[in-house]
Amino acid sequence: MRPPSSVREFEAAARARLDPAHYDYFAGGAGEEVTLRANEAAFGRLALLPRVLGGAAKPELGVTLLGDRAAAPVLVAPTAFHRLAHPEGEKATARAAAAAETIMIVSMASTVAVGDVAAAAPGARLWFQLYVQPDPAFTELLVRRAEEAGCGALVVTADSPVRGRRDRDERHGFHDLPTGLCCENMRDETGRVRPIEFSPAISWEHVDRLRDMTSLPIVLKGVLHPADARRALGHGVSALIVSNHGGRQLDTVPAAVEALPGVVEAVAGTVPVLLDGGVRRGTDVLKAMALGASAVGVGRPVVWGLAADGERGVRRVLDLLRAEVEDALTLCGARSVHDLGADLVLRPC
């Protein structure tokens, strides 16, 4: 059978393979899923206004982020529970990311321990995503594990002081991993697996404590408000990710790409600004970069690739997006992803 030739087709293939409760966990969002839909729809409302006769035979796609090189400006966003999608789980995802020469942000809620992910994918450029735990000693243990695994950055998720309310999970009664799977990073020194806890009282002081705890660059994920972006600069943050958690946390917040220009303006080039949420096509990547993103992350597209065809599926999704970015750049008359400006995008009035 013909392999899927778009993220959309990968989603259909994944859906056909996954247990419906697991598909809904991956696909779903919070509340009425207004933001979930908005993330994709907002890209559709932005029109590209290409230039002509300015192309290059081979446009430049590579980006360097916090010292890590990616062959294309499309990173693997952190997503939990990859072994629900494929038995090889995060090992397969990391191998595919390494083969595609991009950065994978490993979720703290991964079903393979971050050290084992690193060992399974030599050469992979890994960053580690952290939910600050109410127990500071356990948070520190997680940071040390990320450092020992060779991760290049600590991605602190700021949009989840509590878990979003997701009706699809309620309908299926999906609240936990099935027997045999667990969040492997959550083992304490005795080997016991702790539950992931959310920290309703998470604050800027936690970011300061992390800044004192590690020399890894800290990336703050889940920033939407320009004032928070400005404030982050005073707390030693090395990059920001404009994200609404794929519409899974607070419903009815703006689409990620709608929030992007305000954050980009607020930080005024002092730190890289990344975006995730709703990126499904190379043209979405160009729009985000034209509006000031240094790169984008993809969450569900990677999970669809993994569920559809394991490592090969993730590789194909990443390769497809890369090829689409290359074509879109050429069609826009741009020689490099670094040459894109806001004049490439017509925003609706």
Ligand X SMILES: CCCCCCC(=O)C(=O)O
Ligand Y SMILES: Cc1cc2nc3c(=O)[nH]c(=O)nc-3n(C[C@H](O)[C@H](O)[C@H](O)COP(=O)(O)O)c2cc1C
Per CB under 6 A, does 282 bind ligand Y?
Answer: no
76 in Cβ contact with 95 (< 8 Å): no
Contact flag: residue 112 with ligand X (CB under 6 A): no
Q: What is the DSSP string of 238-303?
A: -EEEE--GGGTSSTTPPPHHHHHHHHHHHHTTSS-EEEESS--SHHHHHHHHHTT-SEEEESHHHH
Binds ligand X (CB under 6 A): choice among 70, 104, 109, 273:
109
Selection from 143, 55, 38 nearest residue 331 by Cα? 55
User: CA of 211: how far to CAs of 66, 142, 148, 163, 229, in Å?
Assistant: 15, 14, 17, 24, 17
Q: Which of residues 78-97 bind ligand X (CB under 6 A)?
A: 80
220 binds ligand Y (CB under 6 A): no
Q: Which is nearer to ligand X, 130 or 334 (CB)?
A: 130
What amino acid is encoded at 37 in this protein? R
Q: Which two tokens stand for residue 241?
A: 């990710």
Alpha-carbon gap, residue 130 to 248, rounded angstroms: 17
Q: Residue 176 half-sphere exposure, CB side, CA atoms within 13 Å?
A: 8
Is the CB of 257 or the CB of 334 nearer to ligand Y? Answer: 257
Report the C-alpha gap between 114 and 142 in whole angstroms. Answer: 10
| Per-residue contact flags (x/-) with ligand X for residues 204 to 243, judged by CB under 6 A | ----------------------------------------
300 touches ligand Y by CB under 6 A: yes
C-alpha closest to that of 260 among 238, 239, 243, 245: 243
- Exactly one of 93, 157, 283, 294 binds ligand Y (CB under 6 A); which one? 157
Q: Is 26 in the site for ligand Y (CB under 6 A)?
A: yes
Asked if residue 303 binds ligand X (CB under 6 A), the reply is no
In the bound complex, what is the minimum distance in angstroms from residue 56's beta carbon to ligand Y? 28
221 binds ligand Y (CB under 6 A): yes
List 22, 86, 206, 245, catalytic entry: 245
250 binding ligand X? (CB under 6 A): no
Residue 196 interacts with, from ligand Y, ligand X, none (CB under 5-8 Å by kind): ligand X
Q: Look up 245 and say whether it is catalytic.
A: yes
Phi and psi at residue 89, in whole multiples of 5°? 50, -135
By the criterion CB under 6 A, which residues form the site for ligand X?
Answer: 80, 109, 196, 245, 248
By the criterion CB under 6 A, which residues form the site for ligand Y?
Answer: 26, 39, 77-80, 107, 109, 129, 157, 221, 243, 245-246, 248, 276-279, 298-300, 303
